[in-house]
Structure 1
Amino acid sequence: MNDQNKNLILACVLSFLVIIGWSFFFPAPEPPLPTETQQPVGEGVSTPIAADPVETVSNSATEQETLQSALSEAPRVPINTPELGGSISLLGGRIDDLALKSYREELDPESDIVRLLSPFGANDAYYALYGWAPGAGVELEDVPGPNTLWTLEQGDELTVDTPVVLLWDNGNGLSYRRTISVDKDFMFSIEQSIENNTAEVVTMAPYGIVARHGEPDIIGFFILHEGIVRMSDGTLDETDYDDMTEFEFLEREGARADVIRVETDGWIGFTDKNWMTTLIPQPGTSFRSVAKYDERRDIYQVEAVLGVQTVQPGTTASASSQLFAGAKEWEAIRDYQNEGGIKGFIDSIDWGWFFFLTKPIFWLLHELNLLIGNMGWSIIALTFIIKALLLPLAYKSYVSMARMKELQPEMEKLKEAAGDDKQKMQQGMIQLYKTNKVNPAAGCLPILLQIPIFFSLYKVIFVTIELRHAPWLGWIRDLSAPDPSSILNFFGLFPWDTPDPGSFFFIFSLGVLPILLGVSMWLQQKLNPAPTDATQAMVFAWMPWIFMFMLGSFASGLVLYWIANNMLTFTQQYVIMRSQGIKPDIFGNIKSSFKKPKQDAK
């Protein structure tokens, strides 16, 4: 077997491995509280782990039956805003029933509304609760806990205009109130107060908890963080669910925990791809930020424990905080940061390592969408802007590539003359480049510039909710999903189904956009000089079709960007080549009147 055949087999094997590899990688008794002077931000406070359900539900029950059974365990106060629907349980005063009215599970407008929070006892219970940790001289039964039954003192429904007030009296001279209000988007405000009608001084610390029972179903894609996200005095910290099981075990907490003392500003919560539930103490407030995992009950929990309150007889003490529970909409989160004073809140969106690119790229895409009203056309407009910005840097590279394309026949002659003498071939090429003042490395600049931009746009399309279920035109009704058309059923002409997007064989179920991508890459490649090495030339020749398969399962918005980018690059190179005296046709074939640069006079 000669070397050429070996290279051919090697290139085919490598191409196949690239396809497989790409599909694999690209397809989470209580100790007394210290005094205020000793522990000003609740150090040593042991907050509760959520209690067991009052009543268990049969495993044979459906998910909906389980949910309804859990919702019926206690009296409830309805939640009704433009964005949110659900209820608050008077058992523990938990915010544990929350759905997002503007978002559905599937593209079908008749599909279920997205449910964010679920009550204790339902499948995948996920809820927020508040309370007071007892201090010196206060018994555990004297403070409200997860299973305390509150009464409704004010309001019969939580709306944007009507807050609700919950009341609990411990019967021993301490009265607790919890005032809950909500804005038009996704932010709850919670004010906890205690009235001391005893003859003794009492100390206790207010806290907020978000509990998640069992590890949720996660996408598990390396480009996306799912788990805990928190800001602590300007430092962003992201923790996966798996990493929580490796926390240090704290005896007094009865769980594995990671504790950070926040001096002035911070927040902590759980983040999913599109949704988030976050505890936010008042800006400027010191608190104890706790990420906790209870191995016994398989409960993931985050806590914000505020400073110790000392309540004199006949006085009232209070503490205020916020709870974000909803969709990670960039505009809403930005307003909470800029207008609400929640420092670093925009970083709850996973911008990644290239945040210096992803943030401005998304801002520009968002502004274009406000102007155009369609995310697909906005992506194309964004491509035009990026190419225009990069053109001054890329112009010389395109000129160099045009000259190298012109020199292709002479390079072939060099190759024939050199034969198997690679050193002679290399020396001849260097001299040819030097004579014609061509820099072969300059052609790499556009590619090097495109790599971080492409990755950043991919990150933006993948992690931001604004492209979820966003249509473009015709059959592209969700730019965050792969092209639903398929060559396997001749683009809908035949009735059989195509492979699911999560399956390996989906990469062979090519849609219209992936095919256009392959063609656009092939056209662009025709304008570029071919490598002199036969194996490299063969691999490059295969690349458009390999990428066509590789990107078949990628988001339509990303494929649309790449098609637009390829066609703009082709147009730019075509025009520049003609300006240099090279006259390619639409398939890259050259009809040249290119004149070599004159030699410098000696």
Structure 2
Amino acid sequence: MDSKRLILFIALSFGILFFWQKWMSQRFPQPANAPTASAPAGSDLPSAAPRAAGAGAAASSAAPDTGRLQSGERIHVKTDLYDAQIDSVGGDLRRVALLKHGMPGEPNKPFVMLTDGKDHVYVAQTGLLGEGLPTHKAVFTAEQREYALAPGQNALSVRLTAAGPAGVQIAKVYTFHRGQYLVDVKYEIVNGGSKPLTASAYYRLLRDGQTDNPGFFGAHTFTGPAIYTEAGKFQKADFAKLDKGTAEYVKAAKDGWVAMIQHYFASAWVASPKGQPSLCGPRDCRYEMKRLSDGLYSAGVIVDLPTIAAGGKFDASMPLFVGPQETRILDQVAPGFDLIKDYGIFTIFSKPLFWVLDQIHKVVGNWGWAIILLTVLIKAVFYPLAATSYRSMARMRKLAPRMEQLKERHGDDKVKFQQAVMEMYKTEKVNPLGGCLPMLVQIPIFIALYWALIAAVELRQAPWMFWIHDLSVKDPYFVLPILMAVSMYIQTSLSPPPPDPMQAKMMKIMPLAFSVFFLFFPAGLVLYYVVNNVLSILQQWWITRGIDNEDKQAKTDKPKKPAPPKKPA
């Protein structure tokens, strides 16, 4: 096995991944938004389990219905990070545009994350379960229709009120904070009635099954709901599992959070904010992921509130995260919240690699140059392994003419040919695997960096220089893929040719085939491979040059045989 076979192995591996993904997408297609006859019908309201004798009936008194949204008046809220709309029906957060992130292909237009449009539904809802208490179907009123975070103002509150049972006053308060993607959502309940009030609060994310997935070479990032608890850790369920009712997760815990995840962005209700006590109270929070009867999907958490005595008051609050999957932001939200950033199966390598990349970016201030410097750093760390590999390949290249002679000598007798080759390797002290094994060690690092760059929202719409204005999308002029093909061809010419003519032809075609694949890869990822190839070529040239000099020196230093003594005349 030589380096050429290793490259062929890597190419075949990528091909297998690609066709595996195609097969999986055909076998388990993403669900359509329309309901199907076999889809399990779900109640629009969370399944509130009885909490005490007589309380279950009150909590479950609302009749099941569909998740179809109703609309009323809109309350417009604008902060330094959000352009948001709250609907008077349910007090739902119906639309959120992220002002610091642009739409795909339109960086100057704010990215719309939550929406209740005709083509896409994705909203944040809350409600109270209890006799006569307002659910997400109730009508709320606000003091004004427009709210804006003023210069120098650190927080903005939007107060909504709704009618409750006799004597009970309900207020729902959104508090937006400057520079934060966490919104505090609080219920203020005043029991002005004559008897104790028992209630539960539910917080959920409602969306359809649309996905926005890059799918580069079969590497699809996850889209769907996820739950984290200390007992069950990180558990996610794609929409297909919710359709079949086969999703498995911890349904009750005293901590955790529930989220809807997509490529680059996420939303979540956080029951255990970082540095704060859990909001679940003495009873467990109850988590729920399900498909509703009209094809929408619900992921939420239910919190049982303490019994509120007559004349008493209670406030129930839950933070809502709506924003990008930036590592520095995720680390500050909740325990385990960084897991929503999908690094695939190589998380153990991808996370530290991205951490190093982020530290470099803090110094240079440009993600393109940070990728280049990270590539240089990785090559420096693996230089001893690369040197071993390139030395072996250089020795193998020197033996190529002798190998051709052996092939001509033994003709079609492959057994004798292989025996002669192995004897030559033994005599020349060359390990045929020496060029492969060091490269195999590096493959997990290369794949991990691939996932790190795919998942990094920090690279989204981040410019490098010249024509590269977004490192997360393909090179618009395909300059980097062409450089990738050229660098691969140079590497191929520097490596020893395989003895098999068919393999030799495949190695010549390989740069062209890879360049076609890389046409559609993110520019940041192709930039890494181009720089990596250039550095590899320089390393290989330098080591090969050193070996040539060593051989020349060895010939020079080789003692000459003494001349035979002259015969006497």
- Take 2:417 and 2:148, find their aligned partners in 1: how far apart are those partners? 79
The aligned amino acid for 1:230 is I
Match of 1:504 in 2: none
- Kindly provide the CA deviation profile for residues 524-560 of structure 1, in whole angstroms up to 9, marking residues without a partner as x: 1222211112222221222112111221221111111
What SS class does the counterpart of residue 126 from structure 2 fall into?
strand
User: 1:291, CA displacement in angstroms?
Assistant: 0.5
The equivalent residue for 1:539 is: 506
1:188–1:323 CA contact under 8 A, matched in 2: yes
Quote the Cα distance in structure 2 between the aligned partners of 1:414 and 1:39.
89
Letter paired with 1:367: Q
Match of 2:173 in 1: 179
CA separation of 1:93/1:171 partners in 2, compared to 1, >3 Å: closer, same or farther?
Answer: same
Contact 1:265 1:343 in 2 (8 A): no
Task: Select 2:414's aligned residue among 407, 422, 425.
Answer: 422
In the alignment, is the contact (CA less than 8 A) between 1:191 and 1:319 conserved in 2?
yes
In structure 2, the partner of 1:483 is 475
Quote the offset at 1:79 in angstroms: 1.6
Shift of 1:124: 1.7
Residue 322, structure 1, aligned to residue 319, structure 2? yes
CA gap 1:540/1:597 in 2 versus in 1, 3 angstroms: farther
Residues 79 and 85 of structure 1 are in contact (CA less than 8 Å); yes or no, is this contact kept in structure 2?
yes
Matching residue of 2:7: none
| Aligned equivalents of 1:529, 1:472: Cα separation in 2 | 36
Counterpart pick for 2:370 among 356, 359, 378: 378
Give the match for residue 92 of structure 1: 90
Residue deviations 1:52-84 (CA, integer Å, cap 9, x gap) = 444xxxxxxxxxxxxxxxxxx533332211110
CA contact (8 A) 1:154 1:165 kept: no
Cα deviation, residue 230, structure 1? 2.0
Shift of 1:465: 0.9
Task: Name the SS for the 1:309 alignment partner.
Answer: coil
Whole-angstrom CA distance in 1 between matches of 2:449 and 2:157: 41
Q: Is 2:136 the counterpart of 1:146?
A: yes
Q: Is 1:513 matched with 2:480? A: yes
Pick one of 532, 542, 545 that aligns with 1:565.
Answer: 532
* Displacement after TM superposition at 1:115 (Å): 1.1
Residue 348 of structure 2 is matched in structure 1 by 356
Shift of 1:39: 10
1:169 aligns to 2:129 (yes or no): no
Using the TM superposition, give the Cα deviation of residue 246 of structure 1 relative to its aligned residue in structure 2, in angstroms: 0.7
Q: Does 1:131 align with 2:127?
A: yes
Cα distance in 2 for residues equivalent to 1:195 and 1:166: 14
Query: Which SS does the other structure have where 1:203 is aligned?
Result: coil
| Cα pair 1:278 1:325 within 8 Å, conserved | yes
Mapping 1:19-168, distance limit 5 Å? 34-36=50-52, 52-54=68-70, 73-110=71-108, 112-119=109-116, 122-134=118-130, 139=131, 142-152=132-142, 157=147, 159=149, 160-168=154-162
**Displacement after TM superposition at 1:45 (Å):** 10
- The question of whether the paired residues in 1 share the 8 Å contact of 2:386 and 2:439 is answered with no
Separation (CA, whole Å) in 2 of partners of 1:78 and 1:442: 65
> What amino acid sits opposite 2:256 in the alignment?
G
User: 1:202 maps to what in 2?
Assistant: 197
Q: How does 1:271-350 map to 2 (within 5 A)?
A: 271-283=261-273, 284=278, 285=280, 286-294=284-292, 296-336=293-333, 342-350=334-342
1:490 corresponds in structure 2 to none
Cα offset for 1:469?
1.4
SS in structure 2 at match of 1:580? helix
Tell me the amino acid that sits aligned with residue 472 of structure 2: S
The answer to whether structure 1 residue 211 and structure 2 residue 188 are counterparts is no
% identical aligned pairs: 31
Letter in 2 for 1:173: G
Contact kept, 8 Å, 1:259 with 1:288, in 2: the verdict is no
Contact 2:518/2:526 (CA < 8 Å) preserved in 1? yes
Rounded to whole Å, the distance in 1 between the matches of 2:409 and 2:494 is 25
1:10 — aligned with what?
none
What is the letter of the counterpart of residue 433 of structure 2? A
Q: 1:358–1:596: structure 2 CA closer, same or farther, 3 Å change rule?
A: farther
8 Å contact kept, 1:152–1:166: yes
In 2, distance between residues paired with 1:17 and 1:464? 24
Bigger drift between 147-156 and 232-241 goes to: 147-156
TM-score (norm 2): 0.82
Q: Deviations over 1:97-125 (max 9, x none)?
A: 21111222144455x32111123x64422
Partners of 1:51 and 1:147 within 8 A in 2: no
> In structure 2, do the counterparts of structure 1 residues 477 and 52 end up closer, same or farther at CA, with 3 Å as the change threshold?
closer
Given candidates 456, 461, 471, the residue that maps to 2:453 is 461
1:194–1:316 contact (8 Å) kept in structure 2? yes
Q: Provide the secondary structure at the position in 1 that maps to 2:227.
A: strand
Matched residue type, 1:189: D
In the other structure, the counterpart of 1:251 is none
Is the Cα contact below 8 Å between 1:43 and 1:288 reproduced in 2? no
User: Aligned equivalents of 2:440 and 2:186: distance in 1?
Assistant: 53
Partner-residue secondary structure (3-state), 2:377: helix
Residue 218 of structure 1: CA displacement? 3.0
Change (3 A) 1:438 1:44: farther
Which amino acid in the other structure matches residue 88 of structure 2? Answer: L
- Cα pair distance change 1:17/1:76, threshold 3 Å: closer
Distance 2:54 2:554 in 1: 83
Deviations 1:289-347 (A, max 9, x none): 110101x31111111111343222221223221111122222211222xxxxx110111
Cα shift readout 1:368-394 (whole Å, capped 9, x = no counterpart): 222112222211111100000111233
After superposition, the CA RMSD in angstroms is: 3.4
How far apart are 1:592 and its partner, in Å?
6.6
Q: What is the deviation of 1:50?
A: 6.1
Instruction: Find the residue that maps to 1:553 and give its secondary structure.
Output: coil
State how far apart, in whole Å, the 2-side matches of 1:180 and 1:304 are.
18
Please state whether the residue corresponding to 1:392 is helix, strand or coil. helix
1:22/1:240 CA distance change after superposition, 3 Å: closer
What's 1:491 paired with?
none
Distance 1:108 1:215, change over 3 A: closer
Q: How does 1:551-590 map to 2 (within 5 A)?
A: 551-581=518-548
Q: How far off its partner does 1:16 sit?
A: 12
| CA deviation map 1:233-264 (0-9, x unaligned) | 2511122122210116xxxxxxxx86633423
Say if 2:99 and 2:110, in contact at 8 Å, map to a contact too. Answer: yes
- In the alignment, the residues of structure 2 paired with residue 45 and residue 335 of structure 1 have an alpha-carbon distance, to the nearest angstrom, of 38
In structure 2, how many angstroms separate the alpha carbons of the residues matched to 1:32 and 1:531? 68
Q: Per the alignment, do residues 74 and 232 of structure 1 end up closer, same or farther by CA in structure 2, a change over 3 Å counting?
A: same
Structure 1 residues 174, 597: closer, same or farther in 2, change over 3 A? Answer: farther
Q: Secondary structure at the match of 1:231?
A: strand
Are residues 513 and 117 of structure 1, via their aligned partners in 2, closer, same or farther at CA, if it must alter by over 3 Å? same
Residues 1:379 and 1:43: Cα distance change in structure 2 (over 3 Å): farther
Distance in 2, matches of 1:374 and 1:433, equals 48
Of residues 121-130 and 236-245 in structure 1, the stretch that sits farther from structure 2 once superposed is: 121-130
Number of corresponding residues: 511
Matched residues in 2 for 1:592 and 1:479: separation?
Answer: 46
Distance 1:162 1:220, change over 3 A: closer
1:526 to 493, 508, 515: 493
